[in-house]
Every structure is written in C-alpha cells, then in structure tokens.
Chains A and B, each alone.
Chain A
Amino acid sequence: GAGVSQSPRYKVAKRGQDVALRCDPISGHVSLFWYQQALGQGPEFLTYFQNEAQLDKSGLPSDRFFAERPEGSVSTLKIQRTQQEDSAVYLCASSPAIGVRTDTQYFGPGTRLTVL
C-alpha cells in the first residue's frame, strides 16, 4: 500500500524566500509528526498533530516555522524568510495510534532543503 509521501523531494531556496513542504500521511493515520534532520545528526522533533489539532509545537525553532493540518490528513510545513541554518532534511512521519504509547512511526522520504 501507499506509504508516507512528501513533496518536493528537493528544494533549493534563496535566503529570505518562503518555502512550503507537503506531507501526505498514510490514509487513516491519526498522528503526524514533523522532524528536522541536519547532516550527521538524528531527527529533531518539530511538531505533532493528532488529526487536525496541533498538540505540540515546542520543537519549532522560531516563529518563522509554521505547520498546519487543516483537514486531519495532508500537512504543510511552512518556513518564512529562510536562513542558511534552515538547510536540512525535513521528515514527516505518521502513526495510526494516539497517546503516549504511540508506537511505530512510518517516515516519508523527506524533503532536502538547501538555502543558499
């Protein structure tokens, strides 16, 4: 069956440009996560949705980062006025479960963002 998909797979932006990254989770998955993975590092939590509700956005590094999931399925991560330090792979993951005992997360292939 279809897994988590993300688009675009690669994005090159000029410093100061706004970007929007899309995530299509597995159909029916309640939980959706966004992570940022810098080169040589593990994924860093950004934000979490349960259906359309953004329950945790404590990992968003600044107010330039904004995420939404208006209908509880597709999610968009928007970065305004991109900076070079935003260059990373942005991973989306979904899970069928909710609550603190959420188990398996299924990751998308990521969007590799390069800010020049």
Chain B
Amino acid sequence: RKEVEQDPGPFNVPEGATVAFNCTYSNSASQSFFWYRQDCRKEPKLLMSVYSSGNEDGRFTAQLNRASQYISLLIRDSKLSDSATYLCVVNIRTGNQFYFGTGTSLTVIP
C-alpha cells in the first residue's frame, strides 16, 4: 500500500472554475503536509504547507483532516497558468522521509 494516494486525474476545467483535489495518507504518525506543484518536465516547487487549522493563500485553500487522514487543495477562479501536476507530500514523524503522491494533473481550458 502506498503511503500517499492521489487521484491522478486528469482534471480538465474551464477558466474561472473551482476545482478540488484530495489526497489520503496511510501513516497516522505523519506530521507535516504539503502541496507541491510540478510543471511538465520541471522540478517540483512548494505551493503551500498544510496546517491543522487549514490555511489559505489567495485563490488556494488547503485543509487537513487528521481523523480521516486526508488532505485537500481547493483552487478557486482557475487560471490557465494553474495547469500543472499537483503533488501531495507527507512527512513521517519518525524520520526525514518525505512521501510524494503520484500527482494530480490539472488542465485549465480557455
């Protein structure tokens, strides 16, 4: 069983739409959570950390549900430039291993 599971998509949405991605993790000892963005043939870049209370950064909102062991990312008012693969990342308390999901592909259509 993979540590982090994501729906690979693809998600194809029109400009201006709201889209949500979910990610589940298997290890209850997971301590830190992140969303990274990866453009085609580029390296991953941190989009945002995910805090227990939930957090927002402009059009992006991340939430964590420890009881159900899932993380979500909500993108409002989608832009063409949001087209990318979104990677869910989890850090396990006992070490420095970071587990990445397979990524969810998003394409925003004009």
Q: Which of B31, B95, B98, B99 contacts A105 (CB 8 A)?
A: B98
Which residues does chain B contribute within 8 Å of A104, judged by CB atoms?
46, 49
Find the A residue at minimum CB distance from B49.
A103
Q: How far is the CA of A34 from the CA of B54 in the complex (A)?
A: 29
Given A100-B95, A100-B96, A101-B32, A91:B42 Cβ within 8 A: no
Interchain nearest-CB distance for B16 vs A (Å): 28
> Interface residues of B: mostly helix, strand, loop or mixed?
strand
Q: How far is the CA of A109 from the CA of B46 in the complex (A)?
A: 14
Interchain nearest-CB distance for B25 vs A (Å): 13
Interface size range of chain A in the complex: 20 to 34
Interface membership of A44, Cβ < 8 A: yes
Query: When the two chains form their complex, are residues A109 and B42 in contact, meaning their CB atoms are under 8 A apart?
Result: yes
Which residues does chain A contribute within 8 Å of B42, judged by CB atoms?
109
Which residues does chain B contribute within 8 Å of A107, judged by CB atoms?
43-45
Interface membership of A62, Cβ < 8 A: no
Q: How far is the CA of A105 from the CA of B47 in the complex (A)?
A: 11
Q: Which of A40, A42, A99, A109 contacts B43 (CB 8 A)?
A: A109
Q: How far is the CA of A50 from the CA of B49 in the complex (A)?
A: 22
Query: When the two chains form their complex, are residues B45 and A48 in contact, meaning their CB atoms are under 8 A apart?
Result: no
Q: Which of B44, B46, B93 contacts A43 (CB 8 A)?
A: B44
Q: Which of A35-92 contact B (CB under 8 A)?
A: 35, 40-45, 48, 50, 55-56, 58-59, 91
